[in-house]
Amino acid sequence: MNSYEKGGGAKPVLIFPGGMPRSLEFLERSLREGQAVIGASSLAHDTAREKYPAWLRLPFVTEPGFDAALKQAVSDYDVGAIFSPNPVVWDYLSRVLKVLMPGVGLLNDAPVERELSGYRAARAQALDMLAKPLPLASNVATRPSVAAPELAALFRHAEVIPGMCDHEKFCVLCEIARRCPGGDLVEIGSWWGKSAFILARLARCYGIGKLLCVDPWSNAHLVQNDQQGLVDRVSEQLDAEEALAVFEINLLPYNADHVNYLRLPSTEGALHYGARREVVTTAFGQTRYAGHIAILHIDGNHRYAAAKADLLAWGSFVVAGGWIVVDDYVWPYGDGPQRAGDEFLFENKERIDVAFVMGSALFIQLCAAL
Ligand SMILES: C[S@@+](CC[C@H](N)C(=O)[O-])C[C@H]1O[C@@H](n2cnc3c(N)ncnc32)[C@H](O)[C@@H]1O
């Protein structure tokens, strides 16, 4: 028997085939958690081998010696369970293990189910949205919704981008995008780019305009001074340089010459936006903006002074019939966005036609042009 350390107390898990991306993901997690694992492959030379603390070769599942070799390996290594992301191997094992080795089970669900569950959920969400459209009052004529595949793509691709955007807010963003004038979409606070991706896709789906993301991507600007320090503790574990790199990875594939960013705090970004139309970055090239805003999404620093400054600096660029979305209006860690949002509502009541809270965000539509 090979010598390897058995960790975590649980019986070792056999990962087969060991070189698939899901296998390597599982291996990494197991090693982190101290779970003993053994990798296996049917290839004569598998480059994944060196990543595993223990390794063995098994015949291909189609070969006559497979069952006996597997049984031997399970006994040699005292294997407790098997992880297999290969749909054919998984399906075969799900049938034969009960007979061959009744005490040894498959650790993972059917690979096809796992790979497709996110797509199925996205398609269901799209159909649901089309079947039950949000009855939204608006002063701008409603564009017809894009078809189910476009909506499903939006839900699915947003799902794989890390970040915060609750489902209710997501659905309302889809609806206001159908009911807004033309113009730029500006986001204050983009971080890894989840909501930026949603806005970028909606901008394309409904031909609204171009997306400008304004974010300093700096750790200093993450400090919220939230009441119990819970948010700031997590922020300290994040890296702003990495966040910008992740943002670019997430947005670049969807940029049809209509996405760019200013790496600036929002008030400085507003000065740039007010003074010139062009924004240039190495990653996205040059983008020319309209200079007026159809949708303003505010999700920057949530301290009261910062949220207030965002609304003051950017609110006047929003055109008649345009929308302002104040994220985290309902926020358990402080009341900055709520106070700033309420003050904006009060101070601008003559300009506002529609205002409501959905999910955690405040949505405001300015009056339409006379
Ligand atoms: C909650 S995150 C944004 C999350 C993002 N909208 C999403 O979809 O996951 C808050 C962001 O605000 C940014 N931020 C902080 N201070 C800012 C400021 N003064 N101007 C613009 N953005 C700011 C932070 O860098 C951070 O990226």
Beta strands 318-326 and 361-366, pairing class: antiparallel
Over the stretch 211-223, which tens digit does the pLDDT of each residue have?
999 999 999 888 8
Expressed in angstroms and rounded, the spacing between residue 319 Cα and the centre of ligand 1 is 23
pLDDT of residue 2: 40
Tell me the H-state helices in the chain: 21-33, 66-77, 87-100, 111-131, 148-159, 167-178, 194-205, 230-235, 240-251, 266-275, 304-314, 336-347
Expressed in angstroms and rounded, the spacing between residue 151 Cα and the centre of ligand 1 is 26
Q: How many helices (H) and strands (E) does the chain have?
A: 12, 14
Residue nearest to atom 9 of ligand 1 (CA): 163
Over the stretch 12-40, which tens digit does the pLDDT of each residue have?
999 999 999 999 999 999 999 999 999 99
Q: Give residue 49's identity as a one-letter amino acid code.
A: R
327's tokens = 């994220």
Sheet holding 361-366, edge to edge: 259-262, 211-214, 184-188, 293-298, 318-326, 361-366, 352-358
Over the stretch 159-186, which tens digit does the pLDDT of each residue have?
999 998 888 999 999 999 999 999 999 9
CATH no. for 118-366: 3.40.50.150
Expressed in angstroms and rounded, the spacing between residue 199 Cα and the centre of ligand 1 is 15
- Ligand 1: residues with CB < 6 A are 163-165, 188-192, 194-195, 214-217, 221-222, 265-266, 299-301, 306
Fold (topology level) of 13-108: Rossmann fold (3.40.50)
Mean pLDDT of 237-244: 95
pLDDT of residue 5: 40
Phi, psi of 291 (to 5 degrees): 90, 0
Of 165, 198, 215, the one to substitute when testing ligand 1's pocket (max ligand atoms within 8 A of C-beta) is 215
Expressed in angstroms and rounded, the spacing between residue 155 Cα and the centre of ligand 1 is 22
Residue nearest to atom 18 of ligand 1 (CA): 265
233's tokens = 């503790």
pLDDT of residue 7: 43
Task: Give the gyration radius of the chain's Cα atoms.
Answer: 26
Q: Give residue 133's identity as a one-letter amino acid code.
A: P
Mean pLDDT of 118-141: 94
Expressed in angstroms and rounded, the spacing between residue 238 Cα and the centre of ligand 1 is 12
CB 187 within 8 A of CB 160: no
Q: How far is CA 132 from the centre of its chain?
A: 24
pLDDT of residue 93: 98
Residue 190 to residues 136, 215, 325, Cα–Cα distance (Å): 26, 6, 14
Residues 6+ apart with CB under 8 A from 34: 7, 8
Over the stretch 97-117, which tens digit does the pLDDT of each residue have?
999 999 999 999 999 999 999
Mean pLDDT of 323-334: 96
Q: How far is CA 267 from the centre of its chain?
A: 26
**120 conformational bin, left if phi > 0, alpha if psi -120 to 50, beta if neither:** alpha
Residue 165 alpha carbon, nearest atom of ligand 1: 8
Residue nearest to atom 23 of ligand 1 (CA): 300
Expressed in angstroms and rounded, the spacing between residue 251 Cα and the centre of ligand 1 is 16
CB 26 within 8 A of CB 83: yes
Residue nearest to atom 15 of ligand 1 (CA): 301
The answer to whether 13-108 and 118-366 have equal CATH topology is yes
The domain locations on the chain are 13-108, 118-366
Confidence of residue 370 (pLDDT cuts 50, 70, 90): low
Expressed in angstroms and rounded, the spacing between residue 213 Cα and the centre of ligand 1 is 10
